[in-house]
Amino acid sequence: MKLWGGRFTKQTNQLVHNFNASLSFDQKFYEEDITGSIAHVTMLAEQGILSSEDKEAIISGLKGIMEDITSGALEIDEEHEDIHSFVEAHLIERIGDAGKRLHTGRSRNDQVALDMKLYTRKEILEMDSLLKNLLESILKIMKENLDTIMPGFTHLQKAQPITLAHHMGAYFEMFKRDRDRLHDTYERMNFCPLGSGALAGTTYPLNRARTAELLGFTGPTLNSMDSVSDRDYLIEFSSAMSIIMMHLSRFCEEIIIWNTNEYQFIEIDDSYSTGSSIMPQKKNPDIAELVRGKTGRVYGTLISLLTTMKGLSLAYNKDMQEDKELVFDAIDTTKGCILLFNGMLDTITFKKDNMRASAEGGFTNATDAADYLVNHGVPFRDAHGIIGQLVLFCIDNNKSLGEMTLDEYKAISPVFEEDIYDAISMETCVEKRNTIGAPGQKAMQEVINIYEKYLAE
Ligand code: ARG
């Protein structure tokens, strides 16, 4: 059934129909379309615009359609233009004339704006709960690794010793901010466009606050032109998803590096690895690579949407139909990646001995050795130079700072005493860093307590 045949004298060209139609993808929100329609007719009847018999007939017809689509009894065929036409046609087929009154005081423009908002709202909440699960996995690793020493890096060069808990905590912060971004988007978008009509409201005495309330919105939107042409929330959501993917991708990059034969900081579980068809020895981190790779795809949604919207005059333009496939794909991709990543992270084995040996090996305690001299009265700039000489000596003699003899130390500076060894032990390096946000156990424990409370809320 077409919703607009009246003023046409010719059939639509088949290719035009195919090009114009959105049913193949907007059927994804059939439930939201029907839920919106039920709220609409409930309000129409309350306002005396629709009889209560018609309302009852429409609602039970719509519920039947929803059940039948869900059970598979009613198949969504490609003959209709979009999910809105599909549902309306089937309603009329099932309940007759009452069905023809469903669209009173409504346009597909406010209808699709509503459906997409309802769908997005639900998906934001689902994504948020997946992120929460991921934060729980990260926090578990943090709690188990307060004293697992590893090198911290800058420029991917060993810098200073940290702990695995501290490293994981950085990702906790990132995904926590991601949840905040989702919450912000949700709050800002949660206004109901229904009742905005095609662009200029309607002549019926609709109660827009009531439909907003029935559908769980904060209230109705305040400008009907904006209501039918606002896709900001999809751009914001795509931006939030792009940032989530960027965080996952950085994490994946580290996992890929840590999993190499050169690093051996971790072992990805067999159940989350793949093999090679030719090289029998290979165990590849494909999941991490795929998550990293799919990041580009989600960025693509953000850029595509921004580009689609940039030249559009008010109000609705068909260009906006392009929002759906893009955003659906970004949502499915991001959710899938969070889920898979979480599973991979949960089953990773951390090779703590290798992490510690790596931290010992790369002069990660050089700053602390300089601080030792400063504490014994040497100006920092001089101390920096002295430790530089020590490092050179160690490189030439294939030693770490901890392996030098006291005589060797004293040959470079007489200030060194026996207590230098304790001052530059990995434990001391970490434990001396106990300001909030630093890797020392006390500081980390405080942060973990805050995170526990946050996740319990
Ligand atoms: N499929 C359309 C979309 O996704 C629905 C709105 C159609 N409105 C219209 N005036 N043709 O945007």
| Residue-wise pLDDT tens digits, 211-254 | 999 999 999 999 999 999 999 999 999 999 999 999 999 999 99
Residue 127 CA, ligand 1 centroid: distance in Å: 27
| Ligand 1 pocket mutation, candidates 80, 109, 111, 234, criterion most atoms within 8 A of CB | 109
Residues paired with residue 161 on neighbouring β-strands, in sequence order: 151
Residues of the chain with CATH 1.20.200.10: 109-146+161-190+207-357
pLDDT at 3: 74
Nearest atom within ligand 1 for CA of residue 323: 4
Q: How many CB atoms lie within 10 A of CB 335?
A: 17
- Give me the CATH code for the 14-106 domain, please: 1.10.275.10
Residues of the chain with CATH 1.10.275.10: 14-106
Which residues are known catalytic residues? 155, 276
Cα 84 from Cα 282, distance rounded (Å): 51
Cα 189 from Cα 117, distance rounded (Å): 8
Residue 308 CA, ligand 1 centroid: distance in Å: 15
Which residues sit with their C-beta closer than 6 Å to ligand 1? 22, 26, 82, 108-109, 112, 316, 318, 320-321
Q: Name the token pair of 216.
A: 């769980």
Q: How far is CA 449 from CA 122, 130, 168, 453, in A?
A: 30, 21, 15, 6
Range with the lowest mean pLDDT among 20-29, 42-51, 279-288, 391-400? 279-288
Residue 1 scores a pLDDT above 70: no
CATH of the domain spanning 358-450, picked from 3.40.50.300, 3.40.1310.30, 3.40.50.10320, 1.10.40.30: 1.10.40.30
Alpha helix positions (H), 11-107: 14-20, 23-26, 30-46, 52-71, 83-95
Cα 20 from Cα 240, distance rounded (Å): 30
Residues paired with residue 152 on neighbouring β-strands, in sequence order: 160
Residues of the chain with CATH 1.10.40.30: 358-450
Q: Average pLDDT, whole number, for the chain?
A: 96
Across 232-267, b (16+ Cβ under 10 Å) vs e yields ebbbbbbbbbbbbbbbbbebbebbbbbbeeeeebbe
pLDDT digits (tens, 9 = 90+) for 132-181: 999 999 999 999 999 999 999 999 999 999 999 999 999 999 999 999 99
Say whether domain 109-146+161-190+207-357 belongs to CATH 3.30.450.20.
Answer: no
